[in-house]
Amino acid sequence: MIKQAIIPLAGLGTRLLPLTSIMAKELLPINGKPGIEYILDECIEAGIKEIIFIISKKKEVIKKYFYKDNFYKSIIKRKKDQRIKEEYKKILFYKKKIKFVYQNYPLGTGDAVLKTKKYIKDDYFLMLLPDDLIMKKNCSKEMIKVHKKYKSSVMASMKVKKNTVNRWGIYSTSKNLDKKNFIISNVVEKPDIKKAPSNNAVIGRYILPKNIFNILKNQVSGKGGEIHITDAIKALIQNNFKFVGHKFSGKYLDCGTMKGYIKSTLEINKI
Ligand code: UTP
């Protein structure tokens, strides 16, 4: 069983400037609800019991969002507003499941994951990147089923436009397992458009093995000077760890770029 999830939240969010100059992008509202709450709901519905947030001093506002007890209590006492009561109940419910760890320098997603090493108990854990919302169908739940069936690591996958491959982790496959799942034989972080092995991209949902920490411990920085989780996954694949790519069936919303965020806020109403 996959019981723990980790969520890296310590990045700078430069693609959403100026909003992120004072706000954490994960708290920006999408149809009246912070993006991070969609991610939490997906985890909880998929049966996750503990969620580890990787934050930084600069992103402490995310922790504060869940620790406003005195404020809620005094407002509820004065206003007796049922909606606020319900919202506070929901915050308390989330808070019970969240643990916070710190990555104070944004050295990359791989370095962020390494910060959770001593808290991961089982052989596999789930990782969700909060910029990627997947609506309509619970992608994490589907991936947990795939993990159980193939006893492997799993990554969510989607075809992207060929002229955008240099924005994504791109993979090649070696074998189809069924209509939606296949064996991944290699993965490259943000390849040059001319050198990309395909236009199959990794989307922000991963089921990773605990062994990844052994790789991350010694990993040097890669593209753009950052320590990428993709490079650690590539090393695991080279060491014969089984990684299955899963074509998810939900609706993908990109909330990490300004254009994507604006589009997502409009599209979510049509879903
Ligand atoms: P990205 O690199 O895609 O986003 O990280 P970013 O750094 O937040 O934003 P930009 O690129 O400057 O616009 C993917 C996820 O990994 C987290 C981010 O918070 C994001 O959720 N991350 C990234 C970390 O936790 N630590 C890092 O060092 C880098």
Domain ranges of the chain: 4-270
DSSP codes joined into one string, 163-187: GGGGGSEEEEEEEE-SSSEEEEEEE
- What is the mean pLDDT of the segment spanning 60-87? 96
List pLDDT tens digits, range 141-153.
999 999 999 999 9
Q: What is the pLDDT of residue 260?
A: 97
Tokens at 72, concatenated: 């809620």
> Model confidence at 140, in pLDDT bands (50, 70, 90)?
very high
- What is the position in ligand 1's atom list of the atom closest to the CA of 15? 13
Average pLDDT, the chain: 96
Quick check: 271 and 136 in contact, CB under 8 A?
Answer: yes
In a 3-state reduction of DSSP, which class is residue 151? Answer: coil
What is the per-residue pLDDT across 101-117, written as a single tens digit (0 to 9) for each?
999 999 999 999 999 99
pLDDT of residue 95 exceeding 90: yes
Distances (CA, A) of 90 to 37, 96, 97, 109: 10, 10, 11, 29
Residue from 131, 221, 258 whose mutation best tests the ligand 1 pocket (most atoms within 8 A of CB): 131
CA dihedral 27, 227, 207, 265 (to 10 degrees): 30
DSSP symbol at 16: G
d(CA 29, CA 99): 22
Fold of 4-270: Spore Coat Polysaccharide Biosynthesis Protein SpsA; Chain A (3.90.550)
Probe residue for ligand 1, chosen from 100, 109, 128, 261 as the CB with the greatest number of ligand atoms within 8 Å:
109
The residue-averaged pLDDT of 35-58 equals 98
Stretch (H or E) spanning 132: strand 132-135
